[in-house]
Amino acid sequence: MKKDRLELLLAEIRACRICRDAPWRAPLPHEPRPVLQASSTARLMIVGQAPGTKVHVSGRPFTDASGDRLREWLGLDDATFYDAARVAILPMGFCFPGQDAKGGDLPPRPECAPAWRARLLAEMPEPALTVALGAPALRWTLQRAGRRDLVAPTLDAAIVDWRRIYAQLRVMPLPHPSWRNTGWLKRNPWFAEEVLPVLRAEVARALA
């Protein structure tokens, strides 16, 4: 059964050590801990970047300030957000990638998406709504859909063009909810005024 295949695949992913044992560059500097949420019935798919330090410790997606902001954006309480039967959370990299010299999180590991994403998505239904957080997640989502024509030169341009992207693919491009984007949100009040009400309505519709 498809559900059984997905459960076996999730177990394989959670035991993955590619970035430590067979890395494409310097190995992951700590023990891998893949963090994701998926099921054969999820109708909302959140495509993020990679877990941060708090998520690496908790083993649960978005257990940090970014998660608080994201749940507010989506209009979801914790119980709904963490209901795997309804919400899939699939970062581009499943493990915390470590930090750079300035204390910022590194980009998602390059080994992860090629190894797992196609196999994983093949065992899942097409979501009613996909939320893409940040440039890597949006670029991958659009390219997978064969819509390179919708790939904007910058994330800002993609978010400005969100209506066209959503109308054609039911993909909502969003900035990452990290505290690092607080300045962007303050400079672009239209995002909260125009995008978030539509986002919350579409999330509710997808999960109804």
Per residue of the chain (208 residues), what is the pLDDT tens digit?
Answer: 667 999 999 999 999 999 999 999 999 999 999 999 999 999 999 999 999 999 999 999 999 999 999 999 999 999 999 999 999 999 999 999 999 888 888 999 999 999 999 999 999 999 999 999 999 999 999 999 999 899 999 999 999 999 999 999 999 999 999 988 999 999 999 999 999 999 999 999 999 9
State which fold the 2-207 domain adopts.
Uracil-DNA Glycosylase, subunit E (3.40.470)
Residue spans per domain, the chain: 2-207
* HEC profile of the chain: CHHHHHHHHHHHHHCCCHHHHCCCCCCCCCCCCCCCECCCCCCEEEECCCCCHHHHHHCCCCCCHHHHHHHHHHCCCHHHHCCCCCEEECCCCCCCCCECCCCCECCCCCCHHHHHHHHHHHCCCCCCEEEEECHHHHHHHHHHCCCHHHCCCCHHHHHHCHHHHHHHHCEEEECCCCHHHHHHHHHCCHHHHHHHHHHHHHHHHHHC
Predicted TM-score (pTM) of the model is 0.95
